Amino acid sequence: MSKDLNAPESTREGKRAQFAQEAEGRSHKNTVKILALVAVALVAVVAYVVAGAGGERGAAVAGGLKVAGEEVSLPVSELSGKARFYEYKTASGKTVRFFAMRSSDGVYRAALDACDVCFAAKKGYRQEGDDMVCNNCGNHFHSAQINEVKGGCNPVGLERKVAGDRLSLSAGELEAGASYF
Protein backbone atom coordinates (compact mmCIF):
# COMPACT_ATOMS: atom_id res chain seq x y z
CA MET A 1 0.00 0.00 0.00
CA SER A 2 1.53 3.29 -1.06
CA LYS A 3 1.24 6.24 1.24
CA ASP A 4 -0.49 9.22 -0.23
CA LEU A 5 0.41 12.07 2.09
CA ASN A 6 -1.79 14.50 0.14
CA ALA A 7 -4.91 12.30 0.44
CA PRO A 8 -7.52 13.48 2.91
CA GLU A 9 -7.36 11.88 6.37
CA SER A 10 -10.69 10.08 5.83
CA THR A 11 -9.33 8.30 2.72
CA ARG A 12 -6.23 7.16 4.61
CA GLU A 13 -8.36 5.93 7.50
CA GLY A 14 -10.60 4.07 5.04
CA LYS A 15 -7.64 2.32 3.47
CA ARG A 16 -6.26 1.43 6.93
CA ALA A 17 -9.61 -0.04 7.89
CA GLN A 18 -9.83 -2.00 4.62
CA PHE A 19 -6.29 -3.37 5.11
CA ALA A 20 -7.07 -4.35 8.72
CA GLN A 21 -10.26 -6.08 7.60
CA GLU A 22 -8.41 -8.05 4.89
CA ALA A 23 -5.72 -9.06 7.38
CA GLU A 24 -8.38 -10.20 9.84
CA GLY A 25 -10.01 -12.30 7.10
CA ARG A 26 -6.68 -13.95 6.24
CA SER A 27 -6.04 -14.60 9.92
CA HIS A 28 -9.48 -16.21 10.30
CA LYS A 29 -8.87 -18.44 7.25
CA ASN A 30 -5.49 -19.52 8.64
CA THR A 31 -7.08 -20.31 12.02
CA VAL A 32 -9.73 -22.45 10.32
CA LYS A 33 -7.03 -24.31 8.34
CA ILE A 34 -4.98 -24.95 11.48
CA LEU A 35 -8.02 -26.20 13.40
CA ALA A 36 -8.92 -28.53 10.51
CA LEU A 37 -5.38 -29.97 10.47
CA VAL A 38 -5.47 -30.48 14.25
CA ALA A 39 -8.84 -32.27 13.94
CA VAL A 40 -7.52 -34.56 11.19
CA ALA A 41 -4.40 -35.38 13.25
CA LEU A 42 -6.53 -36.11 16.31
CA VAL A 43 -8.79 -38.45 14.34
CA ALA A 44 -5.72 -40.25 12.94
CA VAL A 45 -4.24 -40.74 16.42
CA VAL A 46 -7.54 -42.06 17.79
CA ALA A 47 -7.91 -44.47 14.84
CA TYR A 48 -4.32 -45.68 15.35
CA VAL A 49 -4.90 -46.40 19.05
CA VAL A 50 -8.33 -47.98 18.53
CA ALA A 51 -6.93 -50.28 15.82
CA GLY A 52 -4.41 -51.58 18.35
CA ALA A 53 -1.30 -50.39 16.57
CA GLY A 54 -0.44 -47.90 19.27
CA GLY A 55 -2.12 -49.66 22.15
CA GLU A 56 -0.44 -51.01 25.22
CA ARG A 57 0.77 -54.56 25.36
CA GLY A 58 -1.92 -56.55 27.08
CA ALA A 59 -4.75 -55.16 24.99
CA ALA A 60 -6.88 -57.47 22.90
CA VAL A 61 -5.94 -57.50 19.23
CA ALA A 62 -8.14 -58.44 16.27
CA GLY A 63 -8.83 -62.13 15.79
CA GLY A 64 -8.85 -63.08 19.48
CA LEU A 65 -5.09 -62.54 19.83
CA LYS A 66 -4.21 -61.23 23.30
CA VAL A 67 -0.90 -59.95 24.58
CA ALA A 68 -0.41 -59.99 28.35
CA GLY A 69 3.07 -59.42 29.68
CA GLU A 70 5.40 -61.91 28.04
CA GLU A 71 2.61 -64.15 26.77
CA VAL A 72 0.66 -64.00 23.53
CA SER A 73 -2.42 -66.18 23.41
CA LEU A 74 -5.30 -67.01 21.11
CA PRO A 75 -8.43 -69.07 21.60
CA VAL A 76 -8.11 -72.69 20.48
CA SER A 77 -11.72 -72.40 19.30
CA GLU A 78 -10.36 -70.36 16.35
CA LEU A 79 -8.03 -73.17 15.31
CA SER A 80 -8.96 -76.03 13.04
CA GLY A 81 -7.36 -77.82 10.11
CA LYS A 82 -7.28 -74.45 8.37
CA ALA A 83 -4.24 -72.30 9.21
CA ARG A 84 -5.16 -68.96 10.72
CA PHE A 85 -2.74 -66.06 10.19
CA TYR A 86 -2.00 -63.42 12.82
CA GLU A 87 0.13 -60.32 13.18
CA TYR A 88 2.07 -59.33 16.28
CA LYS A 89 3.42 -55.78 16.67
CA THR A 90 6.84 -55.77 18.37
CA ALA A 91 7.94 -53.19 20.93
CA SER A 92 9.94 -51.50 18.15
CA GLY A 93 6.84 -51.32 15.94
CA LYS A 94 7.76 -54.10 13.51
CA THR A 95 5.02 -56.51 12.40
CA VAL A 96 5.72 -60.22 12.85
CA ARG A 97 3.39 -62.53 10.91
CA PHE A 98 2.67 -66.05 12.13
CA PHE A 99 0.09 -68.76 11.73
CA ALA A 100 -1.48 -71.32 14.02
CA MET A 101 -3.61 -74.37 13.33
CA ARG A 102 -4.73 -77.74 14.60
CA SER A 103 -2.98 -80.21 12.33
CA SER A 104 -4.46 -83.44 11.01
CA ASP A 105 -2.94 -85.38 13.95
CA GLY A 106 -4.86 -83.17 16.42
CA VAL A 107 -1.85 -81.18 17.67
CA TYR A 108 -1.97 -77.38 17.92
CA ARG A 109 0.90 -75.91 15.92
CA ALA A 110 2.32 -72.41 15.40
CA ALA A 111 5.06 -71.01 13.18
CA LEU A 112 6.34 -67.76 11.75
CA ASP A 113 5.01 -66.96 8.29
CA ALA A 114 8.64 -67.25 7.14
CA CYS A 115 11.49 -69.72 6.78
CA ASP A 116 15.30 -69.68 7.02
CA VAL A 117 15.73 -69.83 3.23
CA CYS A 118 13.05 -67.67 1.59
CA PHE A 119 12.29 -65.12 4.34
CA ALA A 120 13.94 -62.26 2.43
CA ALA A 121 11.26 -62.57 -0.28
CA LYS A 122 8.63 -61.81 2.43
CA LYS A 123 6.04 -64.02 0.71
CA GLY A 124 5.19 -66.40 3.56
CA TYR A 125 3.01 -69.50 3.20
CA ARG A 126 -0.41 -70.54 2.01
CA GLN A 127 -2.32 -73.70 2.76
CA GLU A 128 -3.23 -76.35 0.21
CA GLY A 129 -5.12 -79.24 1.79
CA ASP A 130 -3.06 -80.51 4.71
CA ASP A 131 0.15 -78.87 3.46
CA MET A 132 1.63 -75.44 4.05
CA VAL A 133 3.21 -74.23 0.80
CA CYS A 134 6.03 -71.69 0.53
CA ASN A 135 4.79 -68.82 -1.66
CA ASN A 136 8.34 -68.20 -2.87
CA CYS A 137 9.74 -71.62 -3.84
CA GLY A 138 6.58 -73.75 -3.86
CA ASN A 139 7.86 -76.42 -1.44
CA HIS A 140 5.13 -78.31 0.46
CA PHE A 141 5.26 -79.08 4.18
CA HIS A 142 2.75 -81.43 5.84
CA SER A 143 1.00 -79.69 8.73
CA ALA A 144 1.98 -82.48 11.18
CA GLN A 145 5.65 -81.63 10.57
CA ILE A 146 5.32 -77.98 11.65
CA ASN A 147 7.30 -77.53 14.91
CA GLU A 148 8.88 -80.96 14.30
CA VAL A 149 11.14 -80.40 11.27
CA LYS A 150 13.41 -77.36 11.53
CA GLY A 151 15.62 -75.42 9.14
CA GLY A 152 15.66 -75.06 5.39
CA CYS A 153 12.40 -73.91 3.90
CA ASN A 154 10.28 -75.34 6.74
CA PRO A 155 8.16 -72.76 8.60
CA VAL A 156 10.07 -71.44 11.63
CA GLY A 157 8.28 -73.18 14.49
CA LEU A 158 7.17 -71.35 17.65
CA GLU A 159 7.11 -72.94 21.10
CA ARG A 160 3.53 -73.20 22.26
CA LYS A 161 1.40 -74.63 25.03
CA VAL A 162 -2.30 -75.09 25.55
CA ALA A 163 -3.57 -73.59 28.79
CA GLY A 164 -7.30 -74.05 29.23
CA ASP A 165 -9.05 -72.77 26.13
CA ARG A 166 -6.07 -70.76 24.82
CA LEU A 167 -2.90 -71.50 22.87
CA SER A 168 -0.02 -69.54 24.41
CA LEU A 169 3.16 -68.35 22.70
CA SER A 170 6.16 -66.43 24.02
CA ALA A 171 6.14 -62.70 23.22
CA GLY A 172 9.95 -62.83 23.50
CA GLU A 173 10.11 -65.48 20.79
CA LEU A 174 7.87 -63.38 18.53
CA GLU A 175 10.06 -60.33 19.23
CA ALA A 176 13.11 -62.38 18.21
CA GLY A 177 11.27 -63.47 15.05
CA ALA A 178 11.21 -59.84 13.87
CA SER A 179 14.52 -60.47 12.08
CA TYR A 180 12.61 -62.54 9.51
CA PHE A 181 10.41 -59.58 8.59
How would residue 139 be classed by pLDDT, with cut points 50, 70 and 90?
very high
Nearest 5°: CA angle at 128, between 122 and 132? 50
143 has a pLDDT exceeding 70: yes
Q: Right CATH number for 60-180 from 2.102.10.10, 3.20.20.80, 3.20.20.70, 3.40.50.720?
A: 2.102.10.10
0.75 surpassed by pTM:
no
DSSP 2-53: ---TTS-HHHHHHHHHHHHHHHHHHHHHHHHHHHHHHHHHHHHHHHHHHTTS
The most confident of 2-6, 42-46, 143-147, by mean pLDDT: 143-147
Q: What are the tens digits of pLDDT across the range 54-69?
A: 333 333 344 677 888 8
Share of the chain above pLDDT 70, in %: 70
Give residue 156's pLDDT. 95
Q: What are the tens digits of pLDDT across the range 18-46?
A: 766 666 666 667 777 776 666 666 555 54
94 has a pLDDT exceeding 70: yes
Give residue 61's pLDDT. 43
For all residues of the chain together, what is the average pLDDT? Answer: 80
